[in-house]
Amino acid sequence: MIGVGKIKQYSNVLDKPLSKGKQEVSLSAFSFLFSELVQYNQTQVDNIAELERRLEDAGYSVGARVLELLCHREKGNRRETRLLGILSFVHSTVWKVLFGKVADSLEKGTEHEDEYMISEKELLVNRFISIPKDMGTFNCGAFVAGIVRGVLDSAGFPAVVTAHFVPVEGQQRPRTTILIKFAEEVLRREARLG
Amino acid sequence: MATTACFIIVSRNDIPIYEAEVGSAVKREDVAHLHQFILHAAQDIVQDLAWTTSAMFLKAIDRFNDLVVSVYVTAGHTRLMLLHDSRNDDGIKSFFQEVHELYIKIILNPLYLPGSRITSSHFDTKVRALARKYL
């Protein structure tokens, strides 16, 4: 019969092609899912540090997978071996694929050699979240910090990554900064590679 | 022509997560152990070499008698290592690229813990089919 489409039945996910897939996901769907994630974790922990750690761990598994997938899709199978390379990969490619835009800025810390900061005026995950006063400095951006830590760790650049609110004049909502502090061995290896 | 080939996938933490003898020669028990030993010994070389280049395919990095070890390192530092006696560089590169795609599909599974053994029999079947095709 003319016009009957033939649907290919894939028996196993390994047979499906690794295509680009849909580029966009509904923001409201994601926000609902993320808020449920935060609320679920809130019921399981007693304090804020534990909640931040759980969100970070959730982000870590995303980061590890995102690294492999993006290096394959976007970079045509070239790995990153240098510090600045992996940082600009996170700052542009990862941010563009996850949030639809590159991060606002990437800066090197002035006080310590091993600190770098990625700043964003308003993190996508925080857009519909407000923090109650009694939670102090808690930031749901810990999820994004976990993603960055997952990417860096899997690529061989172990680091401690945290998310902070930085108040900015003339703006009602504070800016979010992801602070990346690399481990000793990363700096030693960078120095060795010259 | 019968070829010996032993293929393993080693995770970032130096734990083998998948092993297969994919050569077309008859499998002998004593030789299988030797193959694994050679592959494990080549790990140190891979770790140093991985940081010197941004390419993923590292070609032949070590020899033992007439057996050659070729390695392909992914972005997450997972090593696909092949011990073989043939000299078919292009075939080996294509084999690695196809297995890399399969590996990405495996780790995209949110229920798969990266660094744990790959137990999917479908993955096993596909890897062996690819080996027959390219090696």
Classify each residue of A107-146 as buried b or exposed e, where b means 16 or more C-beta atoms within 10 Å of its C-beta. eeeeeeebbbbbbbeebbbbeeeeeeeeeeebbbbbbbbb
Say yes or no to pLDDT of A159 above 90.
Answer: yes
State the pLDDT confidence band at B2, using cuts at 50, 70 and 90: low
Say yes or no to pLDDT of B31 above 80.
Answer: no
Hey, of B51, B97, B98, which one would you mutate to test binding to chain A, going by the most A CBs within 10 A of its CB?
Answer: B51
CB B100 within 8 A of CB B77: no
pLDDT of residue A81: 86
**Please, which residues bridge with residue A117 across strands?**
A107, A179
Q: Would an 8 Å CB–CB cutoff place B121 in contact with chain A?
A: no
CB A158 within 8 A of CB A185: yes
Q: A12–B122: do the CB atoms touch at under 8 Å? A: yes
Domain at B107, CATH number:
3.30.450.70
Q: Which of A62-71, A130-139, B39-48 has the lowest mean pLDDT?
A: A130-139
State the pLDDT confidence band at B23, using cuts at 50, 70 and 90: confident
- Tens of pLDDT, residue by residue over B55-90, are 888 878 888 888 888 899 998 899 998 888 877 788
Sign of CA dihedral A74, A75, A76, A80: negative
pLDDT of residue A140: 84
**Please, which residues bridge with residue B21 across strands?**
B6
- Tens of pLDDT, residue by residue over A110-153, are 888 889 999 988 888 888 888 887 877 788 889 999 999 999 99
Q: What kind and span of H or E run contains B131?
A: helix B121-134
pLDDT of residue A2: 62
Tokens of A75: 């970079």
- At B20, the amino acid letter reads A
Q: Would an 8 Å CB–CB cutoff place B36 in contact with chain A?
A: no
Cα–Cα–Cα angle for A155, A157, A162, rounded to 5 degrees = 110
Q: A79–B74: do the CB atoms touch at under 8 Å? A: yes
Measured between alpha carbons, how far is A161 from A152 in angstroms, rounded to an integer?
10
State the pLDDT confidence band at B1, using cuts at 50, 70 and 90: low
Q: A79–B109: do the CB atoms touch at under 8 Å? A: no
User: What DSSP character marks residue B27?
Assistant: P
Measured between alpha carbons, how far is B124 from B127 in angstroms, rounded to an integer?
5
Mean pLDDT of A158-178: 86
- Tens of pLDDT, residue by residue over A10-21, are 677 777 777 776
Q: Name the minimum distance, in Å, from the CA of A190 to any CA of chain B.
A: 10
Q: What kind and span of H or E run contains B105?
A: helix B89-107
Q: How many domains does chain B have?
A: 1
Q: Name the minimum distance, in Å, from the CA of A192 to any CA of chain B.
A: 11
* Domain containing residue B59: 5-134
The complex's ipTM works out to 0.87
Measured between alpha carbons, how far is B81 from B36 in angstroms, rounded to an integer?
10
More confident site: A146 or A173:
A146
State the pLDDT confidence band at B54, using cuts at 50, 70 and 90: confident
Q: B74–A13: do the CB atoms touch at under 8 Å? A: no
Q: A72–B126: do the CB atoms touch at under 8 Å? A: no
- Tens of pLDDT, residue by residue over B83-120, are 888 777 888 899 999 999 999 999 998 899 988 999 98
State the pLDDT confidence band at A166, using cuts at 50, 70 and 90: confident
pLDDT of residue A100: 85
User: What DSSP character marks residue B73?
Assistant: E
SS (H, E, C) chain A: CCCCCCCCCCCCHHHCCCCCCCCCCCHHHHHHHHHHHHHHHHHHCCCHHHHHHHHHHHHHHHHHHHHHHHHHHCCCCECCCCHHHHHHHHHHHHHHHHHCCCCCEEEECCCCCCEEEEEECCCHHHCCCCCCHHHCCCCCCHHHHHHHHHHHHHCCCCEEEEEEEECCCCCCCCEEEEEEEECHHHHHHHHHHC
Q: Name the minimum distance, in Å, from the CA of A154 to any CA of chain B.
A: 5
Say yes or no to pLDDT of A5 above 60.
Answer: no
How many Å from the N-terminal Cα to the C-terminal Cα in chain B? 11
Mean pLDDT of A20-37: 85
Q: Name the minimum distance, in Å, from the CA of A11 to any CA of chain B.
A: 10
pLDDT of residue A64: 93
